[in-house]
Structure 1
Amino acid sequence: MLSMAAKSKWWNGCGCLPQSRGRHYRPFGPCRQLENRPFHRPTCSMTPPRHLLTVGASARAAAQSAQRAGFAVTAIDLFADEDLTECATAIRSENYPADLVHLAATAPSGPWMYTGGLENHPRIVAEIAARRPLWGNDAAVLRRVRNPRQVHAVLAKRGLPALDVTLDPTDVPRDGTWLAKPLNGSGGKHIHPLDDRSPALQPTRRDEKRKNAGWYFQRRQPGLPASAIFLGHKRRGRLLGVSEQLVGQPWCIGSPFQYAGSICPLLHDDLGDDDFHAQLRELGDTLAGEFGLVGLFGVDGIIHDRRFWPVEVNPRYTASCEVCERLTGLNMVSLHARACHENLPLSDLEPRWPGCVGKLIVYARRDGEFADRSAAWVRNLNAGQSACRVADIPRVGTVFQSGDPIATLLAHGDAPQKLRDRLATLADELRDQLV
């Protein structure tokens, strides 16, 4: 249960979010009771926050959003980072995902939601959902919407852009114009251009005769990587925001197709086109209607020639939800909860768009340890008045190998390029702090 101090800091009893300069922002329109009042002196009635369990490979961003929305949070993930322990009762999974059902059973009663990675484990989702209310998409929905052939068929039927996909690479060119992708992939890991040396074409260890098990193959589309966030409710999908995905850029260090961050909003010539916006709205409505998606969901895609080419559907709170929340003032977990559990009037959403927000996952260039001096650098940055912050803060003594994620940088700015430059500079400084 949150203390009264924590309640007065994060929650005002009416679902509003604290905004700069002592104002509130209400996700579903302005709060007339609290307009122009400092957020630490609420006039709305105070109700004890409900408990929410968040589960995923990384739960920090969703847990912080849930705390700001007024929930007492228990979070289960792979890291139990320092800043997760500040906003939630953090439980580290030592045998992910096999131990999640057991760990979830130890949390206080209440609803639960999942973040990245769990969409690939519908059986685990079903087992946890059998014991507590699920705010999100159930196992049956996951099995359908995570099937690339079913998604392709639905999009093609509606005349929306749909990249060719197949499970059989026999007739697929081996010249890099197609990608090999894990069926249970997440974050872009292990994606690679298809050629004769592709791991996807090698026999599995379990069955020497069975090749390309666990993989599918998708036509490669050139263009700008992007992600659209939607809110599913009553078979409709409301577009909340579009962000640029930081993927395959040398300064991000990660592998060529691995997700490294987001810049929101996406400033692109195509976004001013009415037809482009209409396509995104139809995409959200189609996916929510055909698959029954509820709550937050994201669609990764490629923007090319005024078209958004979907490459993957992520039917849950996504990594780019955090930057969208920081930019618009819309509390993502509050929206998710109301869409899954309450009668939500989607027409009441009124986001604001001041400047831009960036998020960068900092990957290690070399082996090293997060030491006392590393922690001091993080504390100094987070304690200052800078528009930049460090999140997913590891514990002192954590050892990293080259390519491991160290932490996440979050920053505000006026222009995307200046924001990229600032994030790149800070990322190099953070990497230099490893010993």
Structure 2
Amino acid sequence: MREIVLIAGFATRHVVSSARRAGYRVVAVDHFCDLDSGWYVDDYLRFEELADLPDAIEEIRSRNRIDHLVLTSGAEEVVCPGISRAGTSPEIVSRFIDKMKTQEFFEGISVPHPCLAGRDTFPVFAKPITGAGGWRNAVISSRKEMDAWIEKIDLPYMTQQIIEGTPASVSCLSDGRRAVAVAANEQILRGDGESSFGFAGSITPCDHPLAGEMMVCAEKIAAATGCIGSIGVDFVLSDEAVAIEVNPRFQATLDTVESATGVNLFSLHMQACAGILPQMRPEPRRYAARRILFAEDDCIVLRDLRRFGSFIADIPPIGTEFSKGDAIVSIFGYGGTRDAALRMLDNHISIIAPYLA
């Protein structure tokens, strides 16, 4: 009998699809419940607010036998007694969900990282101490801008020196003591508007000259965290590889990592949880690119997009309404070179764009 894994978090489609390909039966709790999530799960349940997540987990648990629990973004600190947790413990997760604690961690293991900025130092890079996706992060140039930003986010925050360079990340596996890098990724950011630092996609592999140095640094960081399973480390590639954050969970780069390397990350994650790591880094077979399309204005999905399922993901049902700036759908491209992958990506975007007007 196949084991059943419960995957819970704000967005789970990328993880449930990997788990299904790894041979597991999957049930999921998710904020979106995209149409293509339904292709991979035996049962799933949608929740509205993160505060509703524990009750949603209990409900789906009441109607399914669960062998393993895997938590994704937004759910990392949820505690579910009686279910075998496949991943990092809540105690360790809490250290890296808190970006100020992560800052102290980087200082403690002596890896390059941005320094904290003084209270009246401008310009600075400001970000909330908790949260994922980077969409609230901002470059602040004056006290007036800072006061307005603080009032808008209404969250604890931190400020750092600005590091110019290429946003990147490394997907790693760790058994709690050792770590192996699976892939280096170039990150695509939104690039404009109030969410200019928000995650908007990835390209795997990252072929920046510092990619190798970054992977070595990521392995050092991941091994020191005590995290188990899939773990990501974000960087800015400047004059050196500068560590930015630690993600103690599956990362949004999963799709391009799997497409570029041919590995199944969920299978490797479960092996890492059992103390088994790859003996070497996988070699990329091709370049893979993902781009998230965002609503340019308020809109509603009026057509069935499932026919494009070979090159899109996170497919919204007909009738789904989006506000300006919301993520609508993910588009993919691949090829033997970075340019070839991006050309295919652009072609696929041109096919889908008229359906989102």
In the superposition, the TM-score normalised over structure 2's length comes to 0.90
Would you say 1:183 and 2:129 are equivalent positions?
yes
Three-state SS of the structure 2 residue aligned to 1:361 is strand
Would you say 1:240 and 2:182 are equivalent positions?
yes
Deviations 1:104-145 (A, max 9, x none): 1223222111122234xx2xx12x2x2311111122102222
Indicate how the Cα distance of structure 1 residues 345 and 283 shifts in structure 2: closer, same or farther if over 3 A, else same: closer
Match of 2:51 in 1: 98
Match of 1:360 in 2: 291
Match of 1:110 in 2: 67
- Report % sequence identity: 26
Indicate how the Cα distance of structure 1 residues 254 and 318 shifts in structure 2: closer, same or farther if over 3 A, else same: farther
| Structure 2: unaligned runs, 5 residues or longer | none
In structure 2, what is the Cα distance between the partners aligned to 1:352 and 1:283?
Answer: 17
The answer (yes or no) to whether the contact 2:334–2:340 under 8 Å persists in 1 is: no
Give the superposition deviation at 1:203. Answer: 6.9
In structure 1, what is the Cα distance between the partners aligned to 2:186 and 2:139?
Answer: 22
Question: Once superposed, which parts of structure 1, at least 4 consecutive aligned residues long, lie more than 4 Å away?
Answer: 199-205
Indicate how the Cα distance of structure 1 residues 257 and 200 shifts in structure 2: closer, same or farther if over 3 A, else same: farther
The answer (yes or no) to whether the contact 1:230–1:296 under 8 Å persists in 2 is: yes
Match of 1:389 in 2: 311
Indicate how the Cα distance of structure 1 residues 223 and 426 shifts in structure 2: closer, same or farther if over 3 A, else same: same
Would you say 1:292 and 2:226 are equivalent positions?
yes
Deviations 1:72-109 (A, max 9, x none): 10111111111101101221112x21121111122322
Matches within 5 A, 1:26-425: 48-88=1-41, 89-94=43-48, 96-105=49-58, 106-107=60-61, 108=64, 109-119=66-76, 122=77, 125-126=78-79, 128=80, 130-165=81-116, 170-171=119-120, 173-175=121-123, 178-194=124-140, 195-198=142-145, 213-249=155-191, 255-271=195-211, 276=213, 280-289=215-224, 291-305=225-239, 307-340=240-273, 342-347=274-279, 349=280, 351-372=282-303, 375=304, 378-379=306-307, 381-382=308-309, 389-425=311-347
Count matched residues: 351
Give the superposition deviation at 1:410. Answer: 1.9
In structure 1, what is the Cα distance between the partners aligned to 2:291 and 2:194?
Answer: 11
Three-state SS of the structure 2 residue aligned to 1:433 is helix
Provide the aligned C-alpha RMSD in A: 2.4
Three-state SS of the structure 2 residue aligned to 1:118 is coil
Partner AA of 2:97 in structure 1: R
Indicate how the Cα distance of structure 1 residues 241 and 427 shifts in structure 2: closer, same or farther if over 3 A, else same: same
Give the superposition deviation at 1:321. Answer: 1.9
Partner AA of 2:300 in structure 1: E
The answer (yes or no) to whether the contact 2:333–2:342 under 8 Å persists in 1 is: no
The answer (yes or no) to whether the contact 1:148–1:165 under 8 Å persists in 2 is: no
In the superposition, the TM-score normalised over structure 1's length comes to 0.75
Would you say 1:433 and 2:355 are equivalent positions?
yes
Give the superposition deviation at 1:245. Answer: 0.2
In structure 1, what is the Cα distance between the partners aligned to 2:244 and 2:298?
Answer: 33
Three-state SS of the structure 1 residue aligned to 2:203 is strand
Give the superposition deviation at 1:170. Answer: 2.3
Indicate how the Cα distance of structure 1 residues 188 and 254 shifts in structure 2: closer, same or farther if over 3 A, else same: same
Give the superposition deviation at 1:434. Answer: 2.7
In structure 2, what is the Cα distance between the partners aligned to 1:244 and 1:202?
Answer: 28
Indicate how the Cα distance of structure 1 residues 204 and 354 shifts in structure 2: closer, same or farther if over 3 A, else same: closer
Give the superposition deviation at 1:262. Answer: 0.3
Indicate how the Cα distance of structure 1 residues 84 and 141 shifts in structure 2: closer, same or farther if over 3 A, else same: same
Give the superposition deviation at 1:424. Answer: 3.3
Give the superposition deviation at 1:198. Answer: 3.6
In structure 1, what is the Cα distance between the partners aligned to 2:150 and 2:20?
Answer: 47
